[in-house]
């Protein structure tokens, strides 16, 4: 259990802290909230039945701890009296609750896709062009084949090989965790150095 929580800390604590800091202005309070979040994760991890939901589960815990922060009597006293409104049935300032309800966990698929673009630039031109048309611009392989002046089978082969090369380059730099559907749960840079300084400076891992 401790090893699992340590892995989650190493992988997610920067993102969770950033999530908290968007909602809590005081960095010291944000650090306290983050500690409470990981305490709850440690205590409740064994109750999580679907490991594919672990990211959304952690962000939900984080959101709940932030709500508890705003519910605390000390925090309520610190709030500017001019901003106070009647509390709702849950004891939370409705303006704060509305703000927190807008807090959605980040879309790691979209975020990670942006990180692949600088890696794509490291591929040979023929593979880069094929993947750019199919993966970035969303063209079908048939349309891409026409634009590249290739047969359909030739375009498919080039895209497949390009994907293999991109995957190999990716795994040199990043450790990626996927769910059963292939969605990105988490990613981080490998401790060993990437093969390219350019990738290190421009990728998101």
Predicted confidence (pLDDT) per residue in 56-67, tens digit: 889 889 988 988
Predicted confidence (pLDDT) per residue in 32-55, tens digit: 999 999 999 999 988 888 777 888
Question: Is residue 33 helix, strand or coil?
Answer: helix
- Rounded to 5 degrees, what are φ and ψ at 73? -55, -40
Q: What is the pLDDT of residue 68?
A: 86
Predicted confidence (pLDDT) per residue in 135-177, tens digit: 888 889 999 999 999 999 999 999 999 988 888 887 777 766 6
Residue with tokens 């993947």: 131
Q: What is the pLDDT of residue 85?
A: 36
Weakest mean pLDDT among 16-20, 175-179, 193-197: 193-197
Q: How far apart are CA 181 and CA 56, in angstroms?
A: 15
Q: Structural domains in the chain?
A: 2-101 (1.10.1740.10), 108-202 (1.10.10.10)
- Rounded to 5 degrees, what are φ and ψ at 186? -165, 160
Angle, to 10 degrees, between the axis of helix 54-71 and the axis of helix 27-44? 130
Q: What is the pLDDT of residue 194?
A: 55
Question: Is residue 184 helix, strand or coil?
Answer: strand
């Amino acid at each position: 259990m401790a090893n699992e929580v340590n892995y989650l800390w190493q992988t997610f604590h920067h993102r969770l802290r950033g999530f908290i800091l968007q909602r809590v202005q005081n960095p010291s309070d944000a650090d306290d909230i983050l500690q409470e979040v990981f305490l709850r994760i440690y205590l409740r991890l064994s109750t999580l039945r679907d490991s594919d939901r672990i990211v959304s589960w952690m962000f939900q815990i984080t959101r709940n701890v932030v709500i508890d922060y705003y519910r605390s009597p000390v925090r309520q006293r610190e709030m500017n009296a001019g901003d106070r409104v009647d509390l709702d049935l849950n004891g939370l300032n409705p303006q704060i609750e509305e703000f927190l309800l807008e807090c959605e966990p980040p879309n790691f698929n979209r975020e990670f896709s942006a990180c692949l673009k600088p890696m794509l630039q490291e591929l040979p031109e023929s593979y880069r062009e094929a993947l750019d048309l199919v993966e970035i611009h969303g063209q079908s392989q048939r349309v891409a084949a026409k634009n590249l002046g290739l047969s359909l089978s030739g375009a498919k082969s080039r895209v497949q090989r390009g994907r293999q090369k991109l995957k190999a380059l990716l795994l040199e730099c990043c450790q990626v965790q996927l769910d059963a559907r292939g969605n990105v749960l988490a990613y981080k840079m490998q401790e060993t150095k990437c093969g390219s300084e350019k990738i290190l400076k421009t990728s998101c891992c």
